[in-house]
Amino acid sequence: MRKFTPTESPSETILKFKKRLGLFIHCGAFLLVMPFAILQYYANNLPLALAIAAFMLFDLLIIYLLIKEDTYLFNGWGLALLAAALVCYSTSITGMVGALWSYVAILLFFFLLHWRPATLSATLFIVVEGYIALKHLDISLWYRLIATLLLSGTLTSAFSWLLTEKQFQLVTLATTDPLTGCANRLQLNSKLSESSYNFHRYRTPSSLIVLDIDHFKQINDSQGHAAGDLALTEFAKLMASRIRQTDKLFRYGGEEFIILLPNTRANDAYRLADSLRQAAETHDFKLLKPLTTSGGVAEIIEGEGWDHWLNRADEALFEAKRSGRNRIERA
């Protein structure tokens, strides 16, 4: 029996990194603005001191939830919007002294939010901040402020967009099989864990189909690895064309493929698996002889972890092979 071990998906890794980065930013923001709250209080500017204090209290709440509950309150929106509002209010009271914090507010949008909402929010902030600053700055200084804010926002937005695109490309590379375009083992573990949670929390059934191409080594030996690669690619296309959009096809390794069927019972999964077996047998793969497959089917059961569920489907596949191949067995 194989041993399957859970692996953190790239998306989960990025989410955890975002939470750690958020914690660092919130702690830094609290320490950075605290002296200014004290300064404004002793300068008898009580309204601004209270506004900064409210900002600090909200920041502390986010820090507490991140540390104790591993929950990111409002996913960065709270601090970004509150910081922007505080900057606008400070500009209306202190003029250019408050406007200098506009650059920090723009950076917070792009550090805490996704690229598109960050760009829209930063643009709206510059418009509002520009309207408020116009009433408190001479026109030449106002032009310089707006020009530098627009330049800062544009450059930061461009960098954020490039970073988002690269992040998407890296996640795709990490979770996609380069030969067939199917999802790979790394993504499989994450999806199985999600299906297991949905079953035990919401009683949503799910089934697995494990398919293995029979005697695939003979194809490589007799016709070459190029023919084998073409057969794998064509097999993946055939399987993908005969399952639902909600189903997920994975290449587990070599000539083995796994299909995750959400909201599907074992009997329906078995019928689908057998129809896929027949489709593969009758399909023209441009090989010297017909391509056949063996398969195992398993539905998740009460109290079962996703790794045990996958092992049961794999055992059913081995039983199909022991029984003569070109057949489907149920766990």
DSSP for 304-315 reads --HHHHHHHHHH
d(C-alpha 131, C-alpha 163), whole Å? 31
pLDDT tens digits for 97-130?
999 999 999 999 999 999 999 999 999 999 999 9
Q: How do residues 175-221 score in pLDDT, each as one tens digit? A: 899 999 999 988 998 899 999 999 999 999 999 999 999 999 999 99
Phi then psi for residue 206, to 5 deg, are -145, 150
Note the pLDDT tens digit of each residue in 243-256: 999 999 999 989 99
Q: Which of 12, 129, 194, 255 is catalytic?
A: 255
Name the 3-class secondary structure at 135: coil
Q: Is the pLDDT of residue 6 over 70?
A: no
Distance, CA of 56 to CA of 31 (rounded, Å): 9
Quick one: average pLDDT of 148-172?
A: 93
Residues 39/53, Cβ–Cβ less than 8 Å: no
Q: Is the pLDDT of residue 4 over 50?
A: no
Residue with tokens 């750690």: 20
Q: How far apart are CA 205 and CA 214, in angstroms?
A: 29
Percent of the chain with pLDDT over 90: 85
pLDDT band at 20 (very low <50, low <70, confident <90, very high): confident
Q: What is the DSSP letter of 242?
A: T
Catalytic residue list contains 304 = no
Using the predicted structure, report yes or no on whether residue 136 has a pLDDT greater than 80: yes
For each of the domains in the chain, give its residue range(s) and CATH number, in order of start. Answer: 10-175 (no CATH), 185-330 (3.30.70.270)
Torsion of CA 14, 15, 16, 20, to 10 degrees: 100
Q: Binning pLDDT at 50, 70 and 90, where does residue 308 land? A: very high
pTM comes to: 0.73
CA distance 84 to 104: 9
Task: Band the pLDDT of 227: cuts 50, 70, 90.
Answer: very high
Mean pLDDT over the full length of the chain: 93
Is the separation of the CB atoms in 288 and 271 below 8 Å? no
